[in-house]
Structures are given as C-alpha cells and as structure tokens.
Amino acid sequence: MVRKLAFGICLAAALAALAPAFAQSPAPTTEEEKTVYALGLLVHRNLAPFELSAAEIAIVQRALADAQAGKPAVDLEAYAAKTQELAAVRGERRAGVEKEKGKAFAEAAAKESGAVKAASGLVYVETQAGKGASPKATDKVRVHYRGTLVDGTEFDSSIKRGQPAEFPLNGVIPCWTEGLQKMKVGGKAKLVCPSDIAYGDRGRPSIPPGATLAFEVELLDIVK
C-alpha cells in the first residue's frame, strides 16, 4: 500500500510539473479523452497536501527521469513512509494559515445584520424566513445549498447540479446539524462553519485543511 501511494504521489507531482508543456493541447472531445483528462484533475487533488515549490517540482521531474532510466538516486522503500510525514507536516502548516483566514472571515460575518454566533463558533444569518416546521437532529432533510471557501471559491453546489440533496441531519458535519435546526421549511440562511465543526485539520480533496466554510442553504422540506 505504501509503495503504491508513494508511486502515485510522485507520478502526480511529475505530471503537474509537466502541465505547462501541455497547456495548449486541444480540449478533450471524446469520452475516452475526457476520462483521461479527469486523471489530470485527480492528480491535481493528490498534489494539494504537499504545496510543492517550483524547485521541488524540478526534483520530482528528475526523479521521474531517473526512474525511467532505471537509476533512482534514493531507495524508494526507505523513503516511501517519509512522504506521509511530509504531507502531515505541510498539511498542519497549511491548516494554521487557513484557520487565521477563517477566524477573520467568521468575525466579519458575525457583524452582519441579524447574525447570531453560537458557542460552537457557528455564525448563522437568516436571509429568508421560513414558515414551516424546524427539523430535529434525527430528521432527514431536503435542501439546496452552495458551499464556498473564504476566498469565494465554490467547492460544492446542489443548485449547480440541479438536484436537491437529502440526508439525515445527524449524518453531516456538526455545523449543519446545528445550523439547520435553527431553520424552518421554506427558509434560507447563511452558515459560516469554522473548521472545528466542519472538516477539521484533514480537510477534503476540494477543501483545505483547517478551512472555514460558508454555506448558502435553503431548507426545502423535512422528509418523512
């Protein structure tokens, strides 16, 4: 498993390093080309925890060339585990930066008109009053939502997919479990979720470690 993971990491970094050379390639048109293109998107995800510098990318390029020539400069078995340690260290560093940005973002959101800051750190802002019932933590809900990072980057949207999401309220991040219980069916709200009640220091492929998240949520129904 370690060997496969290390290989995937090196390959991902190397492909990313070569990206400028292929930037002018024609856009994919066939299903097979689009599938291969999706591999590039997966590579981009795998690179995120490492935040490689230009100099480090050059080292990875050298490693790929050396491996292809059958003359690697280091023993992969000896260093494979260290790639995980590197990911952890850099993830922790990035989480610290994200938490500082998130703290400032949440403080600004808490000053918005009508904003309520909970003891958990959740900032709740009602943007449209609902008229129905409020869900309990054990209820299943149907919602439309849009999620963004503090810089406005959208990482998920049921609206864009054109399909509402349904889930048990006690099966999602704590910020949602708490925030949606404040809503009524038909209502809309903004939820600002510090990382402690979102995805923590591990993050997700499209969410940095330590990230504060902002959600625009519409509670469509409580599913019986």
As a whole-number percent, the residues of the chain with pLDDT over 70 amount to: 87
* Amino acid 24: pLDDT: 58
C-alpha atoms less than 13 angstroms from C-alpha of 37 in its C-beta half-sphere: 12
As a whole-number percent, the residues of the chain with pLDDT over 90 amount to: 58
Of all helices (H) and strands (E), which one includes residue 52?
none
C-alpha atoms less than 13 angstroms from C-alpha of 93 in its C-beta half-sphere: 10
What's the average model confidence in pLDDT over 26-41? 89
Cβ neighbours of residue 7 closer than 8 Å, sequence gap 6 or more: 76
Cβ neighbours of residue 102 closer than 8 Å, sequence gap 6 or more: 150, 194, 195, 210, 211, 212
Q: Read off the pTM.
A: 0.69
Least confident among 90-94, 168-172, 179-183, 199-203: 90-94
Q: Is the pLDDT assigned to residue 195 strictly greater than 80? A: yes
Rounded to whole angstroms, the Cα distance separating 62 from 77 reads: 18
Of all helices (H) and strands (E), which one includes residue 34?
helix 31-47
* Amino acid 1: pLDDT: 36
Domains and CATH numbers, the chain: 2-73 (no CATH), 97-223 (3.10.50.40)
Q: Which residues are catalytic?
A: 145, 155-156, 173, 199, 215
